[in-house]
Structure 1
Amino acid sequence: MKNLLRTLRSSTYVAIATAFVTSVFITSSVKVFAAASFEVDHQPDFGQLKGFKGSELCIVADNTQQYIAQNPDDEKAVHRGAVIGNNVSLERVNETLAFLCETYRSDVRAGRPSRLHDKAFVKANFDFVRWYPDKATATKIASSSTNEVKSRLLNNIPEQQLFLTKYYAKLLDGSSVQTATFDQALYQLPFDEKGLSKQAAELKKDQLTRYKYTRQEVIKGALLEDKLAKPLVWMTEEALHDVLLQGTGVLQVDGNTRYFNVHRNNGIAYDYHIGKREQARYWYFAEVPSILGYGQDLPNKIAIKPQVSLAGNVRQLGLGKLMLLNYKVRDNTTQSVNSEGINSEARLAILADEGGAFDNNLFQLDLLAGSYRGWQDYYAANKHLPDYADVWILLKKINK
């Protein structure tokens, strides 16, 4: 999984293969599907709820609800998620998010353990919709990919589980000035786009600097030479590629921690089939107070939290879906992943982020793991998380 530790992050790649997506919302026994499907599950089987904080789940729920309320015209993300089925409504999604926080806050006031970690409570208060993956699209992408690890992981998606990738904000070192070591910049939007809304900029795209240069041209100094954009911070070229891939950078600069988030890109799609250094897509950044998820533009992006935030196909699923992920984990007291030390574990998380990687992608979710220096730190903290998981979309029971 090392080559895919941040596979499919918000603002990353486009899954260019497409497939017909079949969506149903019926009660039936478990079946095998080649395309994505959603079914009511009256007897969900999942493990102990753990690995997340109710407080942070509530924060993401609140922030997502606020975005939905303030952006009713966002047709891409603010909708019920027709692909899931007719029993889902935007009102019910909002009620589900509100119920999460009502439950968490009530438990805090009562001084009792969070019921969001209680299997019986979750089963009693939510309807479960089982999500079966679109294996046809995953297989098609795998067949055309030159990355052996990626192809293997996509080909091995189980019939009834989703591909579960993880992403993190990389902790990096940077400099406020250019040096021999820190010789690449994260750039703010070019000067000729200052004050333009995203929509206004789109109308002038043929005239704007942002659309003129590839990643490779920017790295060679196209913006710096003519002073076309302001450098926000300086880093190594390797760090730059990482931040462009992940969409978020957490940098130690002159003794301070600073956060940077993607703002707008050069209009070139991410190519799923090539490596990060070969990508022509380039992102301009802005400095922000925390890690951010979905939003039409930077000022209204959703502030998200680790271990409770998911990136996925917002266009087809709709923002704010509460999901339960169930997977097998190894008991730390055992040495073999094939031993009886394999246990089932589950967590709740909210769809609050997206990315070009999820266009026509109904076989995968991406979990925000946290902030780490690199692979070793990330792996040490998250090695128990597998590559595949059972996934249910949860909706608060009606009149419950």
Structure 2
Amino acid sequence: MKINSVILMLLALNVFIPAALGLSFSLEPQPELGQLRDFKGSELCQVAENSKHYLQSQGQDTFAVHPGKQINDQITLKRVEHTLAFICQTYREDVRAKRQSRLHDKAFLKQHFEFVRWRPDKETAAKIAGKSTNESKARMLNNIPDEEIFLTKYYTKLLDGSPVKTEHYDQALYALPKDEQGLSLAQAEQQKEHLTRFRFTRQQIIAGALVNDKLAKPLVWLTEEALHDVLLQGTGVLKVDGKIRYFNVHRNNGITYDYTIGKREQPRYWYFVETPEIMGYGQDQSSKIAIKPQVTFAGNIADLGVGKLIMVSYRDNKGQVSRLGILADQGGAFDNNLFQLDLLVDSYRGWSDYHSHNGHLPDYARAWILLLK
């Protein structure tokens, strides 16, 4: 009775209660925000519009198309769609009126949105840290503050590649194996015991498992180190014969990502497809959401639902910053992970290039899910 009474009282106060009764999400009437910067309203609108289209056209994807399993039933899909539509409405009205973007105005955002504060699931983070063989990762997971999520950053790797195999470029990004061409994801799942995609680990494919019998078509060739980077990031931006080409993950070998081990040890392997731009979440390649740097978050879509408008706030070398983005991407690291978001920053050659542009960004930030009032 006491627990039920507490729940009823919290519902009366409009508090959001996750399924596990951990108070990870709650309305915050007067959030303290910083200067709204480091994102473009035009690109936020593009990702919002692409995400709204996914919600409206892919209702069969119950993994991602839902109001949010870890928040509560006050959020509906229609409300999420209206929130995304309002982003573009506001951006376009401001452009037509030739005025400064109201998406960068704290008072405007507080007037039109409810802010649902997200506090991290530190218990799960600590369990993962205890199993991790990476000391740095374990330390960062153990140091997640009570009031802030773990804010990581990801980028698309700028790489060189070759249209043919060479001594230097000796690893391929493979298209879906030939025995799966033309099969839908559902059809492939029904036949998985007989399909090439599910037969090999990453290490076996690197060793040449697909080569001799030509089981899959190589899309482009790159170095082994570059291959591990692209498999980790999910997208490769490759300069091939002087031309920039984009490659995105398509389907994997069915092995779960292991958060506790490094990228080279991961048995999970992805097959790729060439795309015209950077793509985020999608149940299959034809439905993936086109995304943009600085306004896209990857996260736990299974629990939060795709298309959530999210604000993060943190202090950098110029002061307190708040910024908006859309949850439109995911990754294996976010399975059962409600303590982390991954911000898509840009495309870079490597760590030094990335760090010179993003070294000022912190590891933790306050976070809110925004919903149109």
Shorter-chain TM band: over 0.9
8 Å Cα contact 2:258/2:333 also seen in 1? no
In the alignment, structure 1 residue 347 sits paired with structure 2 residue 323: yes
| Amino acid aligned to 2:292 | K
In the alignment, structure 1 residue 327 sits paired with structure 2 residue 323: no
Spell out the pairing of 1:92-111 with structure 2 (5 A cutoff): 92-111=79-98
- The CA deviation at 1:383 is 1.5
8 Å Cα contact 1:35/1:135 also seen in 2? no
| Amino acid aligned to 2:80 | V
3-state SS of 1:158 partner: coil
For 1:182-234, what per-residue CA distance to the aligned partner results, in whole angstroms no more than 9, with x for missing partners? 01111011111111111111111111111111111111111111111110000
Aligned CA RMSD, in angstroms, stands at 1.5
Identity %: 64
3-state SS of 2:268 partner: coil
Count of residues in correspondence between the two structures: 360
For residue 70 of structure 1, what is the aligned residue in structure 2? 57
Distance of 2:301 and 2:42 partners within structure 1: 24
Spell out the pairing of 1:198-347 with structure 2 (5 A cutoff): 198-331=185-318, 343-347=319-323
In the alignment, structure 1 residue 395 sits paired with structure 2 residue 371: yes
In the alignment, structure 1 residue 121 sits paired with structure 2 residue 108: yes
| Amino acid aligned to 1:67 | Y
Structure 1 residue ranges without an equivalent (≥5): 1-21, 332-342
In the alignment, structure 1 residue 380 sits paired with structure 2 residue 367: no
For residue 339 of structure 1, what is the aligned residue in structure 2? none
8 Å Cα contact 2:171/2:222 also seen in 1? yes
For residue 365 of structure 1, what is the aligned residue in structure 2? 341
8 Å Cα contact 1:27/1:41 also seen in 2? no
Structure 2 residue ranges without an equivalent (≥5): 1-6
Distance of 1:305 and 1:36 partners within structure 2: 32
- The CA deviation at 1:36 is 5.5
3-state SS of 2:229 partner: helix
3-state SS of 2:89 partner: helix
For residue 4 of structure 2, what is the aligned residue in structure 1? none
TM-score (norm 2): 0.94
TM-score (norm 1): 0.88
8 Å Cα contact 2:281/2:289 also seen in 1? yes
Distance of 2:29 and 2:266 partners within structure 1: 45
3-state SS of 2:344 partner: strand
- The CA deviation at 1:27 is 5.1
- The CA deviation at 1:86 is 2.7
In the alignment, structure 1 residue 356 sits paired with structure 2 residue 343: no
3-state SS of 1:368 partner: strand
3-state SS of 1:222 partner: coil
Distance of 1:82 and 1:226 partners within structure 2: 44
3-state SS of 2:67 partner: coil
- The CA deviation at 1:91 is 0.7
| Amino acid aligned to 1:310 | F
3-state SS of 1:78 partner: coil
Q: Which has the higher contact order (CA 8 A, sep 6+)?
A: 1
Question: Using a 3 Å threshold, how does the CA distance of structure 1 residues 34 and 371 change in structure 2: closer, same or farther?
Answer: farther
| Amino acid aligned to 1:347 | R
- The CA deviation at 1:35 is 4.5
For residue 143 of structure 1, what is the aligned residue in structure 2? 130
Distance of 1:200 and 1:111 partners within structure 2: 51
Distance of 2:174 and 2:203 partners within structure 1: 14
8 Å Cα contact 1:36/1:133 also seen in 2? no
In the alignment, structure 1 residue 81 sits paired with structure 2 residue 84: no
Distance of 2:81 and 2:14 partners within structure 1: 24
In the alignment, structure 1 residue 133 sits paired with structure 2 residue 109: no
In the alignment, structure 1 residue 162 sits paired with structure 2 residue 138: no
- The CA deviation at 1:82 is 3.2
For residue 187 of structure 1, what is the aligned residue in structure 2? 174
For residue 5 of structure 1, what is the aligned residue in structure 2? none
| Amino acid aligned to 1:71 | Q
| Amino acid aligned to 1:160 | E
In the alignment, structure 1 residue 177 sits paired with structure 2 residue 164: yes
| Amino acid aligned to 1:389 | A
Distance of 2:368 and 2:257 partners within structure 1: 29
8 Å Cα contact 1:34/1:135 also seen in 2? no
- The CA deviation at 1:264 is 0.6
Distance of 1:253 and 1:143 partners within structure 2: 42
8 Å Cα contact 1:46/1:345 also seen in 2? yes
3-state SS of 2:210 partner: helix
8 Å Cα contact 2:299/2:340 also seen in 1? yes
Distance of 2:225 and 2:23 partners within structure 1: 37
Distance of 2:106 and 2:123 partners within structure 1: 33
Distance of 1:152 and 1:113 partners within structure 2: 42
Distance of 1:225 and 1:304 partners within structure 2: 36
Equivalent position to 1:153, from 140, 151, 156: 140
3-state SS of 2:280 partner: coil
3-state SS of 1:224 partner: coil
